Each structure stands twice: as structure tokens, then as C-alpha cells.
Amino acid sequence: CSSKNQDKSEIVTMHWEDAAATVAASCNKVGACSPTELVGEYVKPKDWNQILLDPEVLVVDTRNQYEYDVGTFKNAINPKTDSFVEFPQWLSENVAGDKAPKKIAMFCTGGIRCEKATNACLQLVPKGVPVYHLEGGILA
């Protein structure tokens, strides 16, 4: 069994400062991450299946490629990132502005990554587009 060596520091820091600078420089759309000021709407684990069944919801797996390969929810979008530092750019290219779906739901392993992911998403999508995330992540 072989495994790809990956820098796991993203689990703690998520390199947001680097990501925000990279994205801001390339598209001037994402500002600083402020998950203490604005995050998506929490969805309790007991209510998550309702979100997954809603055909208007784009479900995004915010975890890295390795975690996605281990298992994900049916119909969840894979941003194909190896590190969270790549996620804001994926958001900019796939859900920003007029590309925004009617609703967005995100999930991660323990809920922390989604705090930053939903904050970035809310900075990019038009006002009024609901952005949800699984409270406590898939471990809840």
C-alpha cells in the first residue's frame, strides 16, 4: 500500500492567508477570511439528508482529494484540491457571481474547514443565495 505524502498543516491553519492573497491577486473577489463574522447556516446532522435530497442544492465536499477518495456523499461535487489553499480559487471559478446555484451546502470532516469555506463562499455568491454547512462535519 502506498500513500502520497501530503502536508497536513492545512488541517490547523488551512493556509488561508496564502489563499486569500493568491485569490485576491488573481481575481480581486475574495477578501480576508472572517469566519467569526460571517459563516453559512448550520445544518444539524439529523437534518442533513433533507439538504442532500433538495435538487436545488449544490453539495460541495470541501475536503482534499485524499479525503474525498475515502468516501463522500452521493452527488457531492469534488473540487479536486490537494490542499485547502486551492479551495478559494475553485470557488471563484465555479460558484461566484452568475455561476452561483440556487443553494449551496458544504461539508468537511469536523466542521472547522467549513467555517472558512462558507465565509469565502458568502463573499463570492450573490446576496440571497443560501450557503449551508453540516454542523460538526461528518464526524458529528
- 108 annotated active-site: yes
Residue of 63, 50, 55, 80 lying closest to 117 (CA atoms)? 63
Strands (E), 55-126: 57-61, 103-107
89: left (phi over 0), alpha (psi -120 to 50) or beta: alpha
Evaluated on CA atoms 40, 80, 10, 27, the torsion sign reads negative
CA 48 to chain centre: 16
**55: which 3 cell numbers?**
435538487
Of 1, 27, 33, 108, which residue is the catalytic one? Answer: 108
For residues 28 and 87, give the distance between their C-alpha atoms in angstroms, rounded to a whole number. 15
Residues serving a catalytic function are 108
